[in-house]
A = this chain, B = another copy of it.
Amino acid sequence: VRNHWSFAGGDVGPWRVVSLDAVSGAVLPPVARLAVLEGGAAPAGAAWVLRGFTSNVRYASGAELAALAARQAAPGRAEARCAALIPIRKSAAWWALGQDARRAIFEETSHHTAIGLEYLPPVARRLHHSRDLGEPFDFLTWFDYAPAHAAAFEELVRRLRASAEWAYVEREVDIRLERDG
């Protein structure tokens, strides 16, 4: 299906796993390589496969969409030899909130879009929705960047994890990846 992606951990794939750590909750089994596949397929013999789909924005306003479009960068640039896959699951309390309360926490309080915007275009990201597929995580976010921007990426991650929104994150795994140039 168009817009569906699979992230398969195992022995194959262009991405070498540099680290795989739990930030909150249970970790995933360790793997050596990661394959990223569009369309929902997955290689045979993977140790685990996480699935998600890209979709319309759920919180960004028209003005925020315009700001994002002006700085947007798509993952997959030749110089982006570093990547991160960060699967998260939010709590039942988050999902029980109305749209207004979730938007207020996400942006007015936590500045999620605004923070991400500061690191564009060096750090490209693509958000995949997983919860509606019955997956173990709600979201899979893929980031990639050139080695020169590794410190900027660490800062981005640190700022998001310090936000009020992250009080609703009950499981988070942080997978860092590198590929040959």
Contacts and interface: CB of A to CB of B under 8 A. Distances in A.
Copies of this chain present in the complex amount to: 2
B99 A103 contact: yes
A98 B65 contact: yes
- Interface footprint category on A: 20 to 34
A100 interface: yes
Interface in A29-71: 53, 55-65
Contacts of A101: 61-62
Contacts of A59: 99
A151 interface: no
20 contacts: A1-B133, A2-B134, A3-B132, A53-B132, A55-B131, A55-B132, A56-B95, A57-B98, A58-B99, A59-B99, A60-B99, A61-B100, A62-B97, A62-B98, A62-B101, A63-B98, A65-B98, A99-B99, A99-B103, A129-B132
